[in-house]
Chain A
Amino acid sequence: MATGIRDKVAILGMGCSKFGERWDRNAEDLMVEAFEECLQDAGVERNQIEAAWFGTAIEEQHVGKSGVPLAMTLRLPYIPVTRVENYCATGTEAFRGAVYAVASGAVDIALALGVEKLKDTGYGGLPQRGRGGLNNMYWANISAPGSFAQLAAAYRAKHRVDPKDLKRAMAHISVKSHDNGSLNPKAHLRNKITEDDVMNAPMIADPLGLYDCCGVSDGSACAIVTTPDIARGLGKKDLVSVKAVQLAVSNGQEVQFGEWDGSYFATTRVAAGRAYKEAGIADPRKRISMFDVHDCFSVTELVTMEDLGISQEGKAIGDVLDGFYDASGKIPCQIDGGLKCFGHPIGASGLRMIYEMYLQLNGRAGERQRPDPVLGMTHNLGGFPSQNVSAITIVGRHGA
């Protein structure tokens, strides 16, 4: 009988590059930037790493395919390197590979590194990429904001919400994330904004304006994981361990079958339920100390708070406007600034979210530090509302 991975794997070290328009840096430079910080933090040598998972999604923009770019760049000693891609959940997928390798007992120390160099396209927004020969023939010609904007239309219709009220709550989400990001030296966007800025910004995909959309950035993040025993043997105290990593992947029911209504993420509800079970959490609204969720767009964050079971269905607008998810609120969300301020270098984002949880749990989050956090949860989503990959990670104090 499977027992899950709760407390079987500890985070030995993490690293995160500065995110932003890194015009003067290659993807390889960003990988090294995150890796150097991670190695120092972990207190191990690169030759102690026994296996690695490398996450990158739009590889044709930068490093190309396979695990080779990671092994070449970091000069890894002929170890297994697995390149993973799972839409925008790629970073968490890399983490999951490393965690599972350690939990299985196959290796003692494993590396997960994610990177994306998005700003080499010549235009704003995510790079365009093919969806496959047949898909191109019948799918609507969608962009990322356009696919997520539809959440708002379906949510409004289902819950009979005035478009202005929803837009105001979405604006509050972006304002809150910029407030948080302004305190984070590694964030891409560090400016504060107002709700009126958001409400009046140019339209991208109705009803998402410019400030409802996350940034587009270059960046890398990584983690070195091991067993709690080995971590202690290396002199680590106050361990941060992995409580749960769960993934749910759409199988066509949302996009082809009759039950889903377009206003939520069916996958996130499933993955969150499994993650809470794996982590032994019965009442997440009481027990989770903080979140970093996949706020690719403001409306994504809003509906995700319901899908994670924190806000009641149809009630997220109230929680958001009440400040429940603000830095000063009951459960801060995007305490590091989120995708909104970090941008979304796809392969890196999932690991960047875990990095903030890790910093907070270690009391190393500087001006953003929360008092005494115990459990941090990340939600890393790839794809479209109608077909996606939803990845949930819960990390926390070892034994908590």
Chain B
Amino acid sequence: MTNDSGILSYGAYLPRRRLQRKSIAAANSWFAPGLRGLAKGERAMANWDEDAVTMAVEAARDCLAGLPSPGVEQLILASTTHPYDDRQNSAIVANAIHLPSSLRVLDVTGSQRAGTSALIGALDGSGRSLLTAAEHRLAKAGSPQEMHFGDGAAALLVGSGKPIARLIGSHSETVDFVHQFRSSERAHDYAWEERWIRDEGYLKIVPAALAALFKATGVAPAAVTQFCLPCTLPRVVPGVAKRAGIAESAVRDNLAAVCGDTGAAHPLLMLAHALAQAKAGDLIAVAAFGQGCDALLFEVTEAIAALPARGGVDAALARRKEESNYLRFLAFNDHIMLERGMRAEADKGTPLTTLFRNRDMITGLIGGRCRNCGTLQYPRGRYCVNPKCNALDSQDDQAFSDTRAKVMSYTGDVLTYSADPPAYYGMIEFDGGGRMMADFTDFDEGKVEVGLPMRMMFRIKEHDAARGFVRYFWKAAPI
């Protein structure tokens, strides 16, 4: 680790819907009356067309905003909910954000520490890494996890450059303390008693890791200005801080009330949140718990003031729509046997040869710009679409994913199959030219109009349940 390396940028993403915890309790307290005590605040809830890959893409885009040449040499996606066990999830993210094929990618998983462990590795290694961490967490209906969990993603660009935060040091403790687990054959976590997790887990393992960190770095714990530790158990984080010697005022809000615990992404989400509010000289400690503990200590630099404005956690929190329909949450997570109708039976197979040939067009939303006449077009044809041009093979790559658009025409369709009817879609026109018939997402029913400004978001286009394949594409969302 040199003086000119560390965290260069950060980004965050939260799904727009926020499930009200009182709605979860209202539906389930007949069976689990204890949930009433947790029925405060709201949790981020992935839309039906979001998963760890799509959320990682959005966090990565936020992280790279305003950085014209981020120079990413490695892309990492940390998650315990990767949609694919065997297909490099981070490669999908790389294609979506137009990283070159000369790139190292890595999917990191297996623990709530996946995000922090990947961060330590990225900071340790050579070259620039874009670290994304994302979770779409599943929990059984009526479980405390359903209350505590949230869906979301964070991204950090790390490596050499002008760091906004330098790593002072890190320490990892690895202890096979199984407070919860999920085997590869199960969809949901199995958790042990919270009092044991608190007393023997968090309150013993995390302070030990922090003590080792402070000893190794020679930094006094009391000097820490921000302390990020995800934990959904009550009173644990102040207890850890106290044992570690960190001032209570440094303990950061864990976003439980407004977002929920986003698993492997959460320590990085809290770090991104801290960075957005940090000033030069701040000392940020980040810890993550899970079969041990990762602890990292950062010093914020003067460069933080020069980082181009980005959305970060605050913008992600502000982009919000209250959801009180618990059944919709269950349906989005495939937890109820919903009658989806015959139109849902259509074969959603993906010819992989076709997808590969057209991966830039589909995964990257890349069309063309005609060298001859300048016309932007999507998709790119062999002949330019401008009738006054029609030149052959005259187009250079033109990515539309970061181009704003406006609605030209639209409808809300209750006939076509949608996991969240009515399906809204329509013709959009990109600023500067180019248009497409796009599915809309994250819209408010009845609030779509001709002329409405839109931006493109990377989403699930189809779930092919027959083969277990997820196909991604871009959709237009109101800005």
Task: Tell me the A residues contacting B by CB distance below 8 Å.
Answer: 121-123, 125, 128, 130, 133-134, 136-143, 145-147, 149-151, 153-154, 156-157, 203-206, 208, 251-253, 255-258, 261-263, 384-386
- Cα-based distance from A156 to B407 in the complex (angstroms): 13
Interface residues of B in 207-246 (CB under 8 A from A): none
**Distance to closest chain A CB from B167 (angstroms):** 41
B367 (CB) vs chain A CBs: closest residue: A256
Q: Is the CB of A140 within 8 A of B439?
A: yes
Interface locus among B70-78, B84-92, B263-271, B340-348:
B340-348
A263: which B residues are within 8 A, CB to CB? 409
Q: Give the one of A121, A138, A261 with max B CB within 10 A.
A: A138
* Stretch in B37-45, B149-157, B416-424 touching the partner: B416-424
Cβ contact of A138, chosen from B361, B422, B451, cutoff 8 A: B361
In the assembled complex, the Cα of A205 lies from the Cα of B422 at a distance in Å of 8
Say whether A153 contacts B387, CB under 8 Å: no
Contact of A140 among B375, B386, B437 (CB under 8 A): B437
Q: Which of B379-438 contact A (CB under 8 A)?
A: 379, 381, 385-387, 408-418, 422-423, 425-427, 429, 433-438
Complex Cα distance, B434 from A306, in Å, reads 27
Measured CB to CB, the closest approach of chain B to A387, in angstroms, equals 9
How many Å from the CB of A195 to the closest CB on chain B? 22
Question: How far is B384's CA from A253's CA once the two chains are assembled, in angstroms?
Answer: 10
B48 interface residue (CB < 8 Å to A): no
Please name all residues of chain B whose beta carbon is closer than 8 Å to the beta carbon of A145 when the two chains form the complex: 411, 413, 415
Expressed in whole angstroms, the minimum distance between the Cβ of B381 and any Cβ of chain A is 7
| Given contacts A139-B437, A255-B437, A121 and B412 within 8 Å (CB-CB) | no
B270 to chain A, nearest CB (A): 37
B178 within 8 A of A: no
12 A–B contacts, CB within 8 A, in A order? A122-B342, A134-B358, A145-B411, A145-B415, A149-B413, A203-B412, A203-B422, A204-B414, A204-B415, A206-B422, A253-B387, A384-B437
Q: How many residues of B contact A (CB 8 A)?
A: 52
B473 within 8 Å of A (CB atoms): yes
B98 touches A (CB below 8 Å): no
Is B362's CB within 8 Å of the partner chain A? yes
Q: Are A386 and B418 in contact (CB under 8 A)?
A: no
- Would A150 and B415 count as touching, CB distance under 8 A? no
Asked whether, in the complex, the Cβ of A252 is within 8 Å of the Cβ of B385, the reply is yes
The 5 closest A-B pairs by CB, nearest first: A146-B413, A150-B409, A140-B425, A157-B450, A149-B411
Q: Which residues of A contact B387 (CB under 8 A)?
A: 251, 253, 257
Tell me if B439 and A141 are in contact (CB < 8 A).
Answer: yes
Contact A140 B438 (CB under 8 A): yes
A128, A141, A262: the one contacting B423 at CB < 8 Å is A141
**Given the interface contacts A137-B350, A138-B362, does A253 sit within 8 Å of B385 by beta carbon?**
yes
Contacts of A138 in B (CB 8 A): 361-362, 379, 436, 473
Find A256's partner among B358, B362, B378 (CB 8 Å cutoff). B378
* A-chain residues with CB within 8 Å of residue B377 when the two chains form the complex: 256-257
Whether B409 pairs with A154 at a CB distance below 8 angstroms is: yes
Q: Are B351 and A123 in contact (CB under 8 A)?
A: no
Chain B residues near A253 (CB, 8 Å)? 385, 387
Whether A386 contacts B341 by the Cβ 8 Å rule is no
Q: Chain B: which residue is nearest A257 at the CB level? A: B385
Contact at A157–B451, with CB atoms within 8 Å?
A: yes
- The answer to whether B327 has its CB under 8 Å from any CB of chain A is no
Shortest distance from the beta carbon of B414 to any chain A beta carbon, whole Å: 6
Q: Are A137 and B450 in contact (CB under 8 A)?
A: no
Interface centre among B358, B433, B435 (most CB of A within 10 A): B435
Q: B415 near A255 (CB under 8 angstroms)?
A: no
**A146 B473 Cβ-Cβ under 8 A:** no
A156 to B434, CA, bound (A): 22
Besides A137-B358, A142-B425, 19 new A-B residue pairs in contact (Cβ under 8 A), listed by A number: A121-B342, A123-B343, A136-B348, A137-B362, A141-B439, A143-B416, A146-B413, A146-B415, A150-B409, A153-B411, A154-B427, A204-B415, A208-B411, A251-B385, A251-B387, A253-B385, A258-B429, A258-B435, A262-B408
On whether the beta carbons of A143 and B437 are closer than 8 Å, the reply is no
A137 with B408: CB separation less than 8 A: no
Closest to B345 in A: A128
A262 touches B427 (CB 8 A): yes
Q: What is the CA–CA distance of A289 and B316 in the complex, to the nearest angstrom?
A: 61
Known: A146-B415, A153-B426. A257 touches B408 (CB 8 A): no
CA A142 – CA B462 in complex, angstroms? 13
Query: Across the two chains, which residue of chain A brings its CB closest to B363?
Result: A137
Write the chain A residue with the least CB distance to B475.
A140
CB of B355 within 8 Å of the partner chain: yes
Closest to B377 in A: A256
Chain A residues contacting B346 (CB-CB under 8 Å) are 128
When distances are taken between beta carbons in the complex, the residues of chain A under 8 Å from B438 are: 140
Instruction: Return the chain B residue nearest A155 by Cβ.
Output: B409
Chain B proximity of A45: nearest CB distance (Å)? 44
CA distance A122 to B423 in the complex (A): 22
Inter-subunit contact A150/B411 (CB<8 Å): yes
Q: Is the CB of A134 within 8 A of B354?
A: yes
Q: Check if B279 is an interface residue, CB within 8 A of chain A.
A: no
Q: Within the assembled complex, what's the spacing in Å between the Cα atoms of A278 and B409?
A: 34
**B435–A256 touching, CB < 8 Å:** yes
Q: A257-B377, A262-B427 are in contact. Are A205 and B414 (CB under 8 A)?
A: yes
Q: Report yes or no: A150 in contact with B355, Cβ–Cβ below 8 A.
A: no
Most A C-beta atoms less than 10 A away, residue of B342, B409, B437: B409
Tell yes or no: B463 within 8 A of A by CB. Answer: no
Cα separation A134 to B378 with both chains bound (whole Å) = 13
Does B461 sit within 8 A of A, measured CB to CB? yes
